[in-house]
Structure formats: structure tokens, C-alpha cells
Amino acid sequence: MNTLTERLHQIRAQITKSESHYQRPAGSVKLLAVSKTRPITDIEEALAAGQMDFAENYLQDALPKITALIDKTICWHFIGPLQSNKTRAIAENFHWVHSVDRLKIAQRLSEQRPEHLPPLNICLQVNISLDPAKAGVKAEETLQLAHKIQKLPHIKLRGLMGLPTKANDPKQQRIPFCALKTLLENLQQQGMELDTLSMGMSDDMDAAIAEGATIVRIGTAIFGSRAQNNNA
Ligand SMILES: *Cc1c(COP(=O)(O)O)cnc(C)c1O
């Protein structure tokens, strides 16, 4: 069995390999460690191995970890479902939110972002697989939403996030990622200064990097299977 540190090194090596294979600049893909359901000791081990960006899905689980690790230099990303009653704590405790898919939530995050902190970095979650069971704004509504969100003062729109329906074939995996990249390019052509494509997880990271991911969100491949835990 590999240790967490070894797995982290392996993932970094895979990212480097995919960057070079798809003619992406070295270092253009950021590794986000998805630490949802994991204990603080796992985060500490990853930190010791040089990992700085961590992502959480559930506010209640995240807050004790953020508090316990307040002395460390960590960039915290929120990637889970957003409810109105959770926005204040998210605006106060996180640096990034990847799962924004409606104006009302963005407005609350902007209003509730403390004045002494830099703007909260935001990605719009797009429902790229058109799966009614998945969260996210529809592709054709993304431009309009992005225009409105860009005007909010205390958040900074950075790009798009995609969470496609699982596919095993690497060619199939690339289709929704390509669609998300094209959508980002459309927004950039409208004059928006966006630099982030948050896409790719443990099972489809290579396909996402092939299509231009700038942030990959990796849980299982770093921390091991969540199967013994009750929620994913
Ligand atoms: C859990 C989760 C991930 C990580 O998934 P793995 O398959 O464990 O790498 C990435 N993004 C989101 C939004 C998630 O909820």
C-alpha cells in the first residue's frame, strides 16, 4: 500500500506527464486536493508534502478543519452544493467557490464577503452533461449569468467548473470537457478576463488536462477510497 505522500507525488507526476503530452505549459494545471470526509491528520500529511489547495463539499465538516488549521497557509475551496443559509460562513472562511450556479447565491456571497478580505474567487458550475440530476447553470444561460455576476463588487469571477456524468472511455470523457472549454472561450471573446477551467477528477484527470483544465479536483487518488465513509 502506498502512503498518502507517495500517492500525492504520483498524481503530481501524472499531471506533469499530461501537461507535456498535450503541449500544455509546465505548471499550468493546479492540483486541488479534495479532502471532504477526510480527517485533519490526512490534510496535515498532504500539507507536509507541499500541498496547499484543499477542497471541501460540506460546510459543517469543513469549518472544524479550517479552524484547526488556521495557522497554516492553506487555500480553501468550496466545491459542494450551495444553500442560501450557508453563504455567510462560506464567504468568511473560503478563498474560492466553484459551485455557483445562480445569481442570488452570488449576490449573497458578495454582500457577505468581509471587507478586509480580497474578493472571493468564483467559478460558475455549468451542467455540461445536460443531466437533470446534476447541479449547474445551463450552457446557454451561462453568458447572461456571467455578465451579472461580473458586476458584483466583492467576488471575482475566474471561470467555469464542470462535473460531467461519469464515463469510462477517455474519448467520451473529453466531450463535455471540450464543451466547457468552448464555453469559456466564448466568454473570453465577450471581453471577460477569465483564467480558470475547474474540471477533472480521479478517473478523468488526463482527459480534462487534454481539454485545457487549469484546476483538477482530486480526492480518491490522493486520499484513497471513500467507500468506507457514508457519504461521497
Ligand atoms: C468528490 C468530488 C471530487 C473528487 O472526486 P474523486 O473522484 O474522489 O477524485 C471532485 N469534485 C467534486 C465536485 C466532488 O464532489
In the structure, which protein residues have their CB atom closer than 6 angstroms to any atom of ligand 1?
34, 36, 57, 79, 163, 201-203, 217-221
Residue 86 has pLDDT above 80, yes or no: yes
Q: What does the alpha-carbon distance between residue 220 and residue 117 come to, in Å, rounded to a whole number?
A: 32
The CA angle 203-197-178, to the nearest 5 degrees, is 70
User: Distance from the CA of 123 to the center of ligand 1, in angstroms?
Assistant: 16
State the distance between the two ends of the chain, measured CA to CA, in whole angstroms: 22
User: Distance from the CA of 79 to the center of ligand 1, in angstroms?
Assistant: 9
Cell numbers describing residue 196: 480558470
pLDDT the model gives residue 90 = 98
Which residue out of 38, 101, 201 has the highest number of ligand 1 atoms within 8 Å of its CB and is therefore the one to mutate?
A: 201
Please, is 228 exposed, middle or buried when counting C-beta atoms within 10 Å of its C-beta (0-12, 13-18, 19+)?
exposed
* Number of DSSP helices (H) and strands (E) in the chain, helices first: 9, 8
Residue 78 phi, psi (nearest 5): -100, 125
pLDDT the model gives residue 42 = 98
Please, what are the domains in the chain?
4-223 (3.20.20.10)
Which amino acid residue places its CA nearest to atom 7 of ligand 1? 202
Which atom of ligand 1 is nearest the CA belonging to 221? 9
Instruction: Report which DSSP code applies to 3.
Output: -
**pTM, entire model:** 0.96
pLDDT the model gives residue 1 = 59
